[in-house]
Structure 1
Amino acid sequence: MGLFSGLLGLPLAPLKGVVWIAEKLGSEADRQMNDPAVLRAKIDEVERAFERGEIGEAERDEQQEELLGRLVGRRGGDGDG
């Protein structure tokens, strides 16, 4: 029975591989987007863009608030609930 079910499942093997890769890419992207070091670097970059005059104060505040929310949310998710 194992050989028979293996042969029947063979056409689905490429699809299973694509799904597995997509899941891995999604989890890695999520990890990188919520990495505290990456978030802090992005906050600093937003501040530098403001200082260079590339963005306004309102845009700086909005971006920093969103990044800080992700940073605090990541920390808060570890213990409080």
Structure 2
Amino acid sequence: MGLITQILTFPFAPVRGAGWVMDQVILAAEREYYDPAPVQRELRELVQELAEGRIDEAEFDRREDELLDHLEWLEARSRELDARS
């Protein structure tokens, strides 16, 4: 930017700064929301529950399918976000 442009747009600097902060907050929230680590942790806990006999095979299969579907969705969404960036 030229000096004249910077001087003329200086009053809008707080708006641009607030917009940047908002973008960063949204990106951080999206990273946290689409993080596969909690789903992977739930899968490990599910295997542990089955091994300890707290759930039966049918319950394990049902919950495992749900978690794997969710994990697949997260990975697809992550690829979309990477392509958008």
Q: Tell me which interval the TM-score lies in, with the shorter structure as reference length.
A: 0.5 to 0.7
2:22 & 2:69 partners in 1: Cα distance?
Answer: 27
2:70 & 2:14 partners in 1: Cα distance?
Answer: 35
Shift of 1:68: 5.2
Shift of 1:34: 0.9
Unaligned runs of 5+ in 1: 45-50, 52-60
Instruction: Give the equivalent residue in structure 2 for 1:25.
Output: 25
User: Could you tell me the TM-score, scaled by structure 1's length?
Assistant: 0.54
Instruction: Give the equivalent residue in structure 2 for 1:39.
Output: 39
Unaligned runs of 5+ in 2: 46-53, 55-62, 80-85
Moved over 3 A (4+): 39-44, 67-70
Which one scores higher on RCO, CA 8 angstroms, separation ≥ 6?
2
Alpha-carbon RMSD:
3.1
Alignment identity in percent?
A: 31
Instruction: Give the equivalent residue in structure 2 for 1:6.
Output: 6
Q: 1:71 to 1:13 in 2, by over 3 A?
A: same
Q: 1:6 to 1:38 in 2, by over 3 A?
A: same
1:42 & 1:12 partners in 2: Cα distance?
Answer: 46
User: Could you tell me the TM-score, scaled by structure 2's length?
Assistant: 0.52
Instruction: Give the equivalent residue in structure 2 for 1:73.
Output: 73
2:24 & 2:18 partners in 1: Cα distance?
Answer: 10
